Structure 1
Amino acid sequence: MSDSETDLGPNSKSAFDTKVGIVITERSAERVCGRAPVDGNTQPYGIWHGGATAALVETLGSVGAVEHAGPARRAVGTELNVSHLRSVRSGWVHGVATALHLGASSAIYRVDLTDDDRRLIASGRLSCRILG
């Protein structure tokens, strides 16, 4: 892990995130950045899998919601939607989750995913409930 990469924090990096290869490079309640490799996350046709898109969107948004919730509370996803816009066959998929709403009991993030050439490949939205 390089100096610019962080893990997902205590008790927040799942075996699934590790298997997908998700790396968080920036984290705050307002903005979370990360990436995952295309290699190992493709469908049988050799392109980035839509399930990997959903996983990356949910992980990035959830990390932001956990940051917003703070140590005394927790965040759980309540709604996820994704629009797939372009396929990718190699390299990395990069994601930026941007907070749209940070409330007392909810957090909502828009998550845009791009390829190595910064072309938008998918856009999603994650809603989380803050419990606590």
Structure 2
Amino acid sequence: MTKLPDDLDPELRARIADTQGGELSRKMGIDFVELSASHSVARMPVEGNRQVVGLLHGGAHVVLGESLGSISAAIHAGPGRYAVGIEINASHSRSVTDGWVVATCEALTLGRTLTTHEIVVRDEQERRLSTIRITNMLRDA
């Protein structure tokens, strides 16, 4: 069960619950553990998300990071607003072939019109696999 902030916009709460974070997140097996504007955590299986030589696909790292960063930005945006990703980058520093990865998302800036989050993906031994940074623009609905 995902831990959500008590004051979360009811519409966003329902969307997160109904979609489990969105179609792609579901397909990739992403499990959201904790979600807030400033700190979020999710995990994802390596199996089913590997590239042709058996390593966790670099794009899977980015999907995990963008999923966390975008939901965190949407939580910060609040009722009547939404988040749109405008920039994302990733640095991969280590590979993994099995098990689960855990991503921790921390807010770097939470502004009125922009948010930036850093997401660190680690393996089950807590070794850093990748670092992702995403910037979202906040818009009125």
2:108 corresponds in structure 1 to 100
Would you say 1:112 and 2:116 are equivalent positions? Answer: no
Query: Given the alignment, which residue of 71, 89, 93 partners 2:97?
Result: 89
- Confirm whether residue 16 of structure 1 aligns to residue 20 of structure 2: no
**SS of the residue 1:97 aligns to:** strand
Which ranges in structure 1 are unaligned for 5 or more consecutive residues? none
Deviation at 1:80, TM superposition (A): 0.4
Q: Superposed, which structure 2 residues align to 1:53-68 within 5 Å?
A: 53-68=61-76
Query: How far has the Cα of 1:89 moved from its partner?
Result: 0.6
Deviation at 1:23, TM superposition (A): 1.0
**Cα shift at 1:86:** 0.3
One-letter identity of the residue aligned with 2:46: V
d(CA) in 1 for partners of 2:40, 2:74: 11
Partner AA of 1:85 in structure 2: S
Partner residue in 1 for 2:133:
125
Question: Which aligned runs of 4 or more in structure 1 are off by greater than 6 angstroms?
Answer: none
1:124 Cα shift?
0.8
The structure with the largest helix share of the pair is 2
Encode CA deviations 1:72-123: one digit per residue, 9 max, x unaligned.
1000100000000000011111001100000000100010000000000000
What is the Cα deviation at residue 6 of structure 1? 5.5
Map Cα deviations across residues 26-67 of structure 1 (whole Å, 9 max, x no partner). Answer: 111111100110000000111100110110010010111011
Match of 2:45 in 1: 37
| Long gaps (5+) in structure 2 | 5-11
The Cα of 1:9 is off from its aligned counterpart by: 4.0
Number of aligned pairs?
A: 129
Q: Please tell me the residue identity of whatever aligns with 1:11.
A: R
Alpha-carbon RMSD across the aligned residues, in angstroms, is: 1.5
- Provide the TM-score with structure 2 as the length reference: 0.87
CA distance in 2, matches of 1:48, 1:121: 10
TM-score of the superposed pair, with normalisation by structure 1: 0.92
